[in-house]
Amino acid sequence: MIPRNEHPNPGFYREGYINLNGEWDFEFDFGNSGIDRKLYKADTEFSKKIIVPFCPESELSGIGYKDFIAAVWYKRVVNLTAEQLGKGKAFIVFGAVDFHARVYVNGELAGEHYGGYISFRVDATKFLKEGDNVITVYAEDDTRDYHQGRGKQSELYYSHSCDYTRTTGIWQTVYMEFCPENYIKNFKVYPNIAEGSVTITADLNGKGDFSAAAFWDGKEVGSAKAECFGQTATLTIKLSEKHLWEVGKGGLYSLTLSFGGDVVTSYFGLREVRLTDKAVEINGKPVFQRLVLDQGFYPDGIYTAPSAEALKNDILMSMKVGFNGARLHEKIFEPLFLHYCDELGYIVWGEHANWGMDWSKFDSIRYYLLEVEEEIERDFNHPSIVGWCPYNETWDIDGRKQDDDVLRIVYRTVKAMDKTRPCIDTSGNFHVETDIFDVHDYDQDVEVFQGHYKDLAEKNVLFDHQGRRQTWKGEPVFMSEYGGIRVELAAFDENDREKAWGYGNAATSLEEFYARYDGLTTALIDNPKMIGFCYTQLTDVEQELNGIYRYDRTEKFDAEVLYKINTKKAAIEE
């Protein structure tokens, strides 16, 4: 059985694709000498097997090697028919490969990509032949290179505090798709809720007519056609039925796009985001953000969920305890997860994995900025994404302060690419240019925590717990990390207490936890100047034991108690 055999991106689907997950030949390359040794040759034999899309550090890969890995090699044979190759174009699509990937087809270099978190496609058309074809993938991964964002992957041998097991190489679905010479490269959807319409701009390869049709519950509710000029086309569909996308409910139109014989199916939500000084508004209604920090780690797959059901279940678990969304933290999440967010009406912030970089050096954005651009290009159409946050906690590095221009350039690039959503330049600290002034505060004393933001509510003065390194200019205020309450382990399991990590003093009982959680959260809900909160975190992750759920997703607390706290009347505006 093929693991993760579902199509990985319902927002861009072509019929006739081939899922390439499953068993591949595999080889470690600790000396990073494989290119010199010509391991890319089609007749090279590898000594191991691995289950793709799981990284070699994971148990689901069949390998489970946890030490540092300089580079790895993958190989498999794919049999293709004349009919498949006769369509015109053949692409190999990779959900994500950490970090530098080189893709060979029948011994020849077909393409390469830098960046460990975003999808890319390789045009393999001219390298393929009818019958058996050998696909070989090389992945180089140095988590200690400051040009490379590693997110929460540990820079030390062992996992520690809030850094966890590393991920190397392929960690999302690999598949092939086939299309004509004239084809759809990408498209963006711009809903207009006032007009009840949707405008679509498409990047196209070739010339011809571009058409689109929208459907609601299987019924066509609008269509339009436009001629392609200069590799782009724009059209607007007037919808005969208007159904707004809603928080907690979703509501998606199906979409069929056609160009030159190429057909792509997708979907969209009739949703607009607007930022005011009091709230993030969705379709004109203020929505208090009741978010949870989601780091997207799994005990057996590490960065990769073991199944599609596991992805969706994380959202349902969060909603069960009263959260209406999440910060997708220090990781670009896979499109299928975002699809489930779209379906369920679960709002999220798109982030990237900047930890491990040196933002005090200007050239740190060498690869990072490109991957931020690729993220926005790929994920722009998801109605669940309400904002972007390219950096998180840009602390000093070896005494060097951040280069403010690094953050400024990335922020301005995001805003140039997407004018429909707010952007936080760096979550927590140290802000340079930002639409929202968010703060992180892990003080565990409820009274002290409340005091930090009393002047914000009463005097319009924001407590600065970062030593005046950043200046509040009146932007909307968002508590984007707080809590992180660790509960004394003896109350739940028999793990070694010494390995447990969390913020501040551990709660020694369920009652103490509920009281502290209630006090901290209510302080934010009742503050009229806060536009939302984000609690740390959804699940335990390895040694970090401050999750609402355990790492294996079993329940740790009474969901009804937490739901009542998170959904108090003052917080519900949507």
Check residue 489 and give its pLDDT.
61
Is residue 569's pLDDT more than 60? no
Mean pLDDT of the chain: 95
Mean pLDDT of 387-393: 98
pLDDT in tens, 431-483: 999 999 999 999 999 999 999 999 999 999 998 776 668 889 999 999 999 99
Contact 200, 257 (CB under 8 A): yes
Among 3.30.479.10, 3.30.70.520, 1.10.1040.10, 3.20.20.80, name the CATH number for the domain at 283-571: 3.20.20.80
Q: Please count the other Cβ atoms lying within 10 Å of the Cβ belonging to residue 49.
A: 12
Is residue 224's pLDDT more than 90? yes
- State the Cα–Cα distance between residues 160 and 568, nearest whole angstrom: 35
Is residue 495's pLDDT more than 60? no
The angle that helices 365-379 and 335-344 make with each other, rounded to 10 degrees, is 40
Which residue in 289, 303, 307, 396 sits closest to 353, CA to CA? 303
CATH class of 183-271: mainly beta
Mean pLDDT of 484-492: 74
Q: Please count the other Cβ atoms lying within 10 Å of the Cβ belonging to residue 100.
A: 19
Fold assignment, 22-172: Jelly Rolls (2.60.120)
Mean pLDDT of 336-344: 98
Q: How confident is the model at residue 574 (pLDDT cuts 50, 70, 90)?
A: very low
The angle that helices 335-344 and 308-320 make with each other, rounded to 10 degrees, is 40
Check residue 144 and give its pLDDT.
81
Is residue 294's pLDDT more than 50? yes
Domain ranges of the chain: 22-172, 183-271, 283-571
- State the Cα–Cα distance between residues 453 and 446, nearest whole angstrom: 12
* Residues whose CB is less than 8 angstroms from the CB of residue 135 and which lie 6 or more positions away in sequence, other chains included: 20, 75, 76, 77, 78, 92, 103, 104, 105, 124
Poorest-confidence range of 223-227, 418-422, 470-474, 510-514?
470-474
Is residue 499's pLDDT more than 70? no
Give the global pTM: 0.97
Is residue 493's pLDDT more than 60? no
Is residue 570's pLDDT more than 50? no
Give the ranges where 6-125 is alpha helix by DSSP (H): 82-85
Which residue in 254, 262, 253 sits closest to 233, CA to CA? 262
Which tops the pLDDT comparison, 271 or 147?
271
- State the Cα–Cα distance between residues 35 and 40, nearest whole angstrom: 7
Is residue 1's pLDDT more than 90? no
